[in-house]
């Protein structure tokens, strides 16, 4: 209530300081919780989906139908055609979903788009990985050298190896804004949009994806050979432990790299790009360790349960459905393949890897709650006005 000008100013200051304290507290909570939630709640579900889908295809390739050598190239072509359609229709789909009045239908169509994209990437990776297994050496040293060469090629091609990094560093939020239109490293303002999408598709789904697969494949092989090969469980646990240690170190210190106040060393001042690329490479190896660790642990469980049930394919499908539904209810099913465009983080807690799922979720829920309160007030006001008139 406005009693005097001095009272009004004091209330404003109190409200402003209260809002600032609340915002600072929220920032601290998000800063602490975002990496933890991504690593322990979201990542395992993503890996279950990928592993179940991967094992389904690998086991199917061992059947009489899948054993034909032409099957794997056909799978790769099939996945590429689906991805091509996703790239070329993105503008039309975005306009359709953005203008859709039915929120429930929009969510269903968005989740279906996420599912098709995720399945396409699994088929793409399994088929290309298998083709490399068919036609290249399985010796760990050549594979590791090819992996290093692929990482170097990505740095030369893109300028940084950020595309090698995935969950838990990169977590998405299910939204039409972030998961329909695909970001591009090119300047395409004056280019025909279909030509631009085709160029983007070739760049990401042929050049970059093949190099990423080679980088992951060699790193995996090296760890399989040299990290407790006689005991897979110990190997998996060691991978998880070292992966988590590296992950939390990189996540909680990335803000320091962009803060000039901490740039006191010769490398910080003169070679910031070198340090940034080194961070990306360390993040990539953290992803490899975490994914491999979970993959081994889950493989022991999934394979054991699937053999007990007697129908491996059915169990794989159930695992994929359950993990996808949980991620969808959490509004992060798009993390299975990663966000397709840049996600804005209003808190700027993690400037290198935009890990802002919780803040986006809170923002959305808070906005919905405020909208409901606003509608409730409007309804109440309308009812009171009607009663007064009559």
- Taking only the tens place, the pLDDT of each residue in 292-344 is 999 999 988 776 776 666 678 888 999 999 999 999 999 999 999 999 888 88
In a domain, 284, yes or no: yes
In a domain, 68, yes or no: yes
Task: Quickly tell me which residue has 């939020």 as its tokens.
Answer: 173
Q: Provide DSSP, 1-42.
A: ----HHHHHHHHHHHHHHHHHHHHHHHHHHHHHHHHHIIIII
The residue among 241 and 375 whose pLDDT is bigger is 241
In a domain, 65, yes or no: yes
In a domain, 388, yes or no: no
Confidence of residue 188 (pLDDT cuts 50, 70, 90): confident
Taking residue 83's Cβ as centre, other Cβ atoms within 10 Å add up to 21
Contact of 215 with 134, CB cutoff 8 Å: no
Give the whole-angstrom CA distance, residue 241 versus residue 289.
Answer: 9
Structural domain for 63, as ranges:
40-369
CB-based contacts of 114: which residues, under 8 Å, 6+ apart?
174, 179, 328, 333, 334, 336, 337
**pLDDT number for residue 254:** 85
In a domain, 16, yes or no: no
Q: Is the dihedral of CA 95, 199, 214, 239 positive or negative?
A: negative
Which of 217, 186, 190, 178 shows the shortest CA–CA distance to 203?
A: 186
In a domain, 35, yes or no: no
Please state the length of the chain.
Answer: 390
Q: Provide DSSP, 47-77.
A: HHHHHHHHHHHHHHHTSTTTTSTTHHHHHHH
Q: How many domains are contained in the chain?
A: 1
Confidence of residue 2 (pLDDT cuts 50, 70, 90): very low
Confidence of residue 270 (pLDDT cuts 50, 70, 90): low
Task: Quickly tell me which residue has 């790299």 as its tokens.
Answer: 257
In a domain, 298, yes or no: yes
Q: pTM (2 decimals)?
A: 0.88
Confidence of residue 6 (pLDDT cuts 50, 70, 90): very low
**pLDDT number for residue 17:** 54
Confidence of residue 169 (pLDDT cuts 50, 70, 90): very high
In a domain, 22, yes or no: no
| Span 4-29, average pLDDT | 58
Taking residue 131's Cβ as centre, other Cβ atoms within 10 Å add up to 17
């Amino acid at each position: 209530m406005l009693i005097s000008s001095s009272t009004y100013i004091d209330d404003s200051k109190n409200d402003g300081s209260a809002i600032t304290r609340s915002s600072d507290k929220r920032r601290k909570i998000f800063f602490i919780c975002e990496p933890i939630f991504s690593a322990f709640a979201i990542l395992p579900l993503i890996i279950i989906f990928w592993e179940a889908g991967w094992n389904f295809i690998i086991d199917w390739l061992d059947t009489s139908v899948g054993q034909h050598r032409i099957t794997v190239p056909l799978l790769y072509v099939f996945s590429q055609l689906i991805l091509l359609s996703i790239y070329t229709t993105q503008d039309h789909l975005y306009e359709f979903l953005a203008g859709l009045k039915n929120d429930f239908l929009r969510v269903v169509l968005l989740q279906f788009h996420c599912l098709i994209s995720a399945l396409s990437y699994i088929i793409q990776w399994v088929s290309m990985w298998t083709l490399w297994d068919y036609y290249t050496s399985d010796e760990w040293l050549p594979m590791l050298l090819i992996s290093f060469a692929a990482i170097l090629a990505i740095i030369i091609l893109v300028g940084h190896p950020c595309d090698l990094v995935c969950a838990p560093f990169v977590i998405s939020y299910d939204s039409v804004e972030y998961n329909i239109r695909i970001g591009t490293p090119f300047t395409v303002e004056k280019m025909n949009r279909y030509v631009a999408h085709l160029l983007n598709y070739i760049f990401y789904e042929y050049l970059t994806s093949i190099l990423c697969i080679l980088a992951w494949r060699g790193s995996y092989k090296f760890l399989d050979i040299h990290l407790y090969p006689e005991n897979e469980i110990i190997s998996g646990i060691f991978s998880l432990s070292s992966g988590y240690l590296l992950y939390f170190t990189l996540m909680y210190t990335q803000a320091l790299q962009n803060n000039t106040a901490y740039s006191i060393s010769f490398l910080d001042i003169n070679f910031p790009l070198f340090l940034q690329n080194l961070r990306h490479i360390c993040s990539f190896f953290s992803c490899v360790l975490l994914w491999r660790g979970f993959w081994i642990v889950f493989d022991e469980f999934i394979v054991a349960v699937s053999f007990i049930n007697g129908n491996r394919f059915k169990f794989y499908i159930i695992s994929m459905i359950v993990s996808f539904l949980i991620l969808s209810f959490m509004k992060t099913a798009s993390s299975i393949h990663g966000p397709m465009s840049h996600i804005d983080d209003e808190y700027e807690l993690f400037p290198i890897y935009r890990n802002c799922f919780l803040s986006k979720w809170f923002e959305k829920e808070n906005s919905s709650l405020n909208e409901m309160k606003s509608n409730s007030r409007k309804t109440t006001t309308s009812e009171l006005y009607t009663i007064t008139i009559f």
